[in-house]
Amino acid sequence: MIDKLEFFITLAQERHFGRAAEELGISQPTLSAALRQLEEQLGVSLVVRGSRFQGLTPEGQRVLEWARRIVGDTRTMREEMRAARKGLSGHMRIAVIPTALAMVPRLTEPFQARHPDVTFSVTSRTSLQVLSQIENLEIDAGITYLDNEPLGRVTTVPLYHERYHLITGAGTPLSDREHVSWAEVSHLRLCLLTPDMQNRRIINAHMAEAGVTARTTLESNSMIVLFSHIRTGQWASIMPRNVAESFGFSKEIRMIPIIQPEASHLVGLVATHREPHTPLVSALLHAARSGVAAARFDR
C-alpha cells in the first residue's frame, strides 16, 4: 500500500504516466497496474480515464492528501528507527530561492560539523516551487521569503532580512552616490531575475510604489548570469548586499543602498507543517533556531 501511494503521489506531481514511471524507475504498465490495484483496494476511481492523463477525480484529490500524510509518516518512522540504530544520518534535500543560495553554508556548515554523517543536496528554485516541492515530499526543507506572499501551512524559522542595493560598476551613472532612490534606479539599464522569481516581484512592487517601472534589458534565473553582466560595466542590478558580497566583488563594483523607502523582506527556513518531523528535519529546524545559527545569519 505504501509503495502504491508513493506511485500515486508521483503521478499527481508529474501529471503524465510516462514521466511518472521514469521518475519512479519502473515501467509504465507496472505503474498503471499498481494504480488500478490501489483503486480496487479503496473502491474509488482516482484518475480521470482517457488516452492520456487528464487529472484526478474528486476522490483522487482527497486520497492524494491522505497519501502525502501516510507516506510522510512512514518516512518519519523509518528515519526515527534508523537514527535510533545509527545516530543521525541520511540525505537532506533543500530547495532555495536564488538570492538566498549564498547564505546556505551558514546553516549547512555548522549542521554538518555536528552531524558529519548527514549529506545535502541544494537546488535553486522559485518560491512557488519551494512550497510545491515541500507539499509533494520532493524536498525536506526550503529557504524562501516568509513575509511577502502566502506560504500556506508550513513550519517556519526566520533567518535574516534581505535589504536591497544597486550593484553597478565604478564610473557608471549613480556609482558615486552614498544612496539612491528606487525612482533613480529605474532609469538605469538593468539586469534582473526573471518575473517568476519572487525577488523580481518584490522589486517590481517597490518600483510601482515609487511610481516608476524598471528598465530591464536582460533577465535570467541565474545569479551568475546577472553578475557576469554587471562586470561588463554595461548593466546594473538590484540585489541583496549579502548576495553581492558572496561573489567577492572588487573595488570596481559599487554596492549602494536603495532608500525612499528602504525595503526589507524576511527570509527563512520552511518545512512541512506536521508532527513529528523526521529526525533530519527536526535537527535542521533546531539548528536554525539555535543561537549559533542565528548569529551567523546576523553577521
**Count of CB atoms situated within 10 Å of the CB of 224:** 10
The DSSP secondary structure of 48-73, one letter per residue, reads --SSS---B-HHHHHHHHHHHHHHHH
What domains appear along the chain, each with residue ranges and CATH number? 1-80 (1.10.10.10), 86-160+266-296 (3.40.190.10), 162-264 (3.40.190.290)
Which residues have CB under 8 Å from 245's CB, separation 6+?
Answer: 255
Rounded to a whole number, what is the largest CA-CA distance in the chain?
71
Cα–Cα distance, 25 to 16 (Å, whole number):
14
Cα–Cα distance, 164 to 257 (Å, whole number):
6
Rounded (to 5) percent helix, strand, coil in the chain: 45, 25, 30
Looking only at the bridges linking them, the beta strands covering 90-96 and 190-193 are: unpaired
Grid-cell match 554538518, residue found: 112
State yes or no: pLDDT of 81 exceeds 90: no
Report how far apart, in Å, the C-alpha atoms of 78 and of each of 71, 269, 279 are: 11, 24, 10
Each residue of 193-203: pLDDT tens digit? 999 999 999 99
Segment 62-91 mean pLDDT: 82
Report how far apart, in Å, the C-alpha atoms of 80 and of each of 136, 238, 244, 254, 271 are: 21, 44, 40, 49, 17
CB neighbour class for 161 (10 Å; exposed up to 12, middle 13-18, buried from 19): middle
Which residues have CB under 8 Å from 276's CB, separation 6+?
Answer: 76, 80, 282
Q: Report the amino acid identity of residue 109.
A: E
Beta strands, E only, 116-215: 118-124, 141-145, 154-169, 180-181, 190-193
The pair phi, psi for residue 217, each rounded to 5°, is -110, -5
What's the pLDDT score for residue 68? 85
Q: Respond yes or no on whether the N-terminal peptide bond of residue 276 is cis (omega within 30° of 0).
A: yes
Segment 34-49 mean pLDDT: 89
- Could you tell me if 225 and 198 are in contact, meaning their C-beta atoms sit under 8 angstroms apart? no
What's the pLDDT score for residue 192? 96
State yes or no: pLDDT of 249 exceeds 70: no
Average of per-residue pLDDT values in the chain: 88
Each residue of 54-74: pLDDT tens digit? 888 999 989 988 898 888 888
pTM of the model: 0.75
Each residue of 23-33: pLDDT tens digit? 899 998 899 89
DSSP 252: T
